[in-house]
Amino acid sequence: MPGQGDAGVEARGITRRFGPVEALSGLDITVPYGQVTALVGANGAGKTTLLLILATLLAPDTGTVRIAGHDALARPAEARDSLGWMPDTFGVYDQLTVDEYLTFFADAYGLPNDERARRVKALLSLVHLEDRIGRPVHALSRGQKQRLGMARALVHRPRVLLLDEPASGLDPRSRVELRDLLRSLAADGVAVLVSSHILSELEEIADRVVLVDHGRTVGDHAMAELAGASSRVRWRIRSLDPERLAAALAGALDGLPWLEATDLPGGAEVGPLTEAEAAGLLAELVKAGVPVTGLAPAGSALESAYLAMTETRR
């Protein structure tokens, strides 16, 4: 899909205050076309504030924002034509039916009359809500509303898609479908930016991750690069004799003072340890006669990168 500008989103030096709170303090972000970029950070890090600014719904105090090549601050209407926005909470219009709701937005985006009905039907089928046609929006469940919100964001075939916690109300099947949908949009050339706290899920969706902390970008990594990083992670140990494992780990804790161990059914979780440290611990356990049946990283590479970032910033 031909895009304007080098990337879907290019924002530089964004600052935004709310009274005494500096929500964003010089944040930079680039969201390339054809990729899913994950926006990750602790509660209050500034993710929603950033997404609202990129969606042209909130003005920054300083900085520049380009959406599909358009200056979003000087020409917000042009930027809006190029972007789809899915907020974390669903808006109003509860009295409309599901199809009236989408038709309203198709109309607002200036879709030609003869295309509107077809587009609405195709979108409802895309988010598996065809059987809700004619039903009021207020009768939808939270997850169904999320899916309708996704359809709304796609009405005008945007080249840039911004999603704030899109998976939060979804059941497991809908999450898988959301993942597939975002991957296929990226494959079509759309620049997708998605914020979420569900790191394991993002790892399967995203090509890149931008880590935000206290209103600043503190990391920008390709997911493949993170997977190869040898950072300390937590490890899950399975044992035929969990009690002996717990006793042996209690001994090991003296030699590895930073190590924390948590009992799990049938084993324990320990960490943070590098791969080499985990192998060393395993050798100690085997030497102590503990029947170990499994040793595997407990979290994802993204989770490790995130924990490493927040560990140093506490």
Residues that bind ligand ATP (CB under 6 A): 18, 21, 23, 41, 43-49
Least spacing, CB of residue 109 vs ligand ATP, in Å: 26
> What is the gyration radius of the CA atoms in the chain, in angstroms?
23
We find the least distance from the C-beta atom of residue 18 to ligand ATP, in angstroms, to be: 3
By beta-carbon proximity to ligand ATP, the closer residue of 37 and 103 is 37
* CB of 27 vs ligand ATP, minimal distance in Å: 10
Nearer to ligand ATP, 9 or 23 (CB): 23
Q: Which strands make up the sheet holding 260-264, listed edge to edge?
A: 260-264, 267-273, 233-239, 292-297
- Indicate the residue among 137 and 302 with the shorter CB distance to ligand ATP: 302
DSSP string of 181-194, one letter each residue: HHHHHHHTT-EEEE
Give the C-alpha separation, 121 to 132, whole Å.
Answer: 11
- Nearest CB to ligand ATP, comparing residues 52 and 127: 52
Q: How far is the CB of 49 from ligand ATP (least distance, A)?
A: 3
Grouping H, G, I as helix, E, B as strand and the rest as coil, residue 3 is coil
Closer by beta carbon to ligand ATP, 17 or else 157: 17
Q: How far apart are CA 58 and CA 95, in angstroms?
A: 27
Q: Taking the complex as a whole, how short is the minimal distance between the CB of residue 50 and ligand ATP, in angstroms?
A: 7
Locate 199 and state its tokens.
């790191």
Q: Are 8 and 191 in contact (CB under 8 A)?
A: yes
CB of residue 219 vs ligand ATP: minimum separation in angstroms? 15
CA–CA distance, 246 with 248 (Å, rounded to integer): 6
Is residue 308 within 8 Å of residue 276, measured between CB atoms? no
Q: Tell me the C-alpha distance between 288 and 274, whole Å.
A: 21
Distance (Å, whole) CA 213 – CA 25:
10
